[in-house]
């Protein structure tokens, strides 16, 4: 229109000041060196975590061996609870600390027991009772077909340093719940968990088969899968 001046688009900051364009630094991962505290009092988890670390030449000592207490797991996620445990051990021992928080999430139970997986076993850590509870709840919901019994294990791993730096990863393993439980290997809910693509439960597999990494094992477990991620950023 006559007398009308079309407004020009405002030049971008990069066009006005190309030399001042800010490049955000990439996150710097920290490598694990020296002694490492495994922040768990669970014998099963301790054995698995030591087996995963051994090929990397990491000198590991457990929180129990150092006489460290167990912090209250007040987080609302696996990652939050792993961070709580790792940070508490790192602060108390003045050493880097490695923690896992993991559990079983059942689709038909809206993700339960989830972060409360260990608590469902009670103070006696009776996972036979915990598995029976899950089976009872599934049957109450009419979940008798394999397609109705989908579940997955989750593992959140965290390495914390005394100065507050943390490295965190998470992974899962999908499968179906069977009844009755099968096998006596592993621990926790392993005997009722049938991983996708396999005919044996975690409870029927050797530790190498379940969480051993290639070429010795297939790295099937949630913890092995999470550890692969962690090794890529923190280990040689």
Report residue 65 CA to chain centroid gap: 23
Total structural domains within the chain: 1
Q: Give the C-alpha distances (Å, rounded to integers) separating 55 from 26, 76, 155.
A: 29, 33, 20
Q: Residue 103 in 3-state DSSP?
A: strand
Let me know if residue 19 belongs to a domain: no
- Mapping DSSP onto H, E and C, the string for 109-154 reads HCCCEHHHCCHHHCCCCCHHHHHHHHHHHHHHCCCCCHHHCEEEEE
Residue 10 has pLDDT above 60, yes or no: no
Let me know if residue 56 belongs to a domain: yes
Q: What is the pLDDT of residue 217?
A: 66
Let me know if residue 230 belongs to a domain: yes
Q: Give the C-alpha distances (Å, rounded to integers) separating 28 from 24, 94, 98, 162.
A: 12, 21, 18, 17
Residue 2 has pLDDT above 80, yes or no: no
Let me know if residue 25 belongs to a domain: no
Question: 55 or 132: whose pLDDT is higher?
Answer: 132
Let me know if residue 4 belongs to a domain: no
Report yes or no: 100 and 155 within 8 Å, Cβ to Cβ: yes
Query: Which residue range forms the structural domain that includes residue 167?
Result: 32-234
Among 43-57, 84-98, 128-142, 164-178, which is the least confidently predicted range? 43-57
Let me know if residue 16 belongs to a domain: no
| Chain segment 125-144, per-residue pLDDT in tens | 999 999 999 999 999 999 99
The mean per-residue pLDDT over the stretch 173-189 comes to 95
Distance CA 101, CA 169 (A): 11
Q: Which of 72, 101, 110, 236 is catalytic?
A: 101
Q: Give the C-alpha distances (Å, rounded to integers) separating 126 from 49, 117, 123, 144.
A: 22, 11, 8, 24
Let me know if residue 158 belongs to a domain: yes
Let me know if residue 15 belongs to a domain: no
Residue 101 among the catalytic residues: yes
CATH number of the domain encompassing residue 59 = 3.90.950.10
Q: pTM above the 0.85 mark?
A: no
């Amino acid at each position: 229109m006559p007398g009308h001046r079309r407004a020009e688009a405002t030049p971008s900051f990069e066009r006005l000041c190309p030399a001042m364009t800010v490049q955000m630094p990439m996150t710097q991962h920290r490598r694990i060196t020296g002694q490492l505290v495994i922040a768990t009092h669970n014998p099963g988890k301790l054995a698995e975590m030591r087996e995963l670390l051994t090929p990397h030449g990491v000198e590991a000592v457990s929180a129990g061996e150092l006489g460290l207490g167990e912090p209250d797991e007040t987080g609302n996620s696996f990652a939050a609870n792993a961070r709580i445990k790792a940070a508490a051990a790192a602060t108390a021992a003045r050493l880097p600390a490695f923690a896992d928080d993991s559990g079983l999430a059942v689709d038909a139970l809206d993700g339960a027991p989830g972060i409360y997986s260990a608590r469902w076993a009670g103070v006696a850590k009776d996972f036979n009772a915990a598995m029976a509870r899950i089976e009872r709840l599934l049957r109450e919901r009419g979940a008798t077909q394999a397609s109705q019994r989908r579940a997955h294990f989750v593992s959140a791993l965290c390495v914390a340093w005394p100065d507050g730096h943390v490295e965190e990863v998470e992974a899962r393993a999908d499968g179906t719940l069977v009844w009755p439980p099968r096998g006596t290997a592993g621990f926790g809910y392993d005997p009722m968990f049938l991983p996708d693509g396999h005919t044996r439960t975690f409870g029927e597999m050797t530790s190498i088969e379940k969480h051993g990494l290639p070429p010795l094992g297939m790295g099937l477990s949630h913890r092995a899968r999470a550890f692969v991620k962690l090794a890529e950023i923190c280990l040689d």
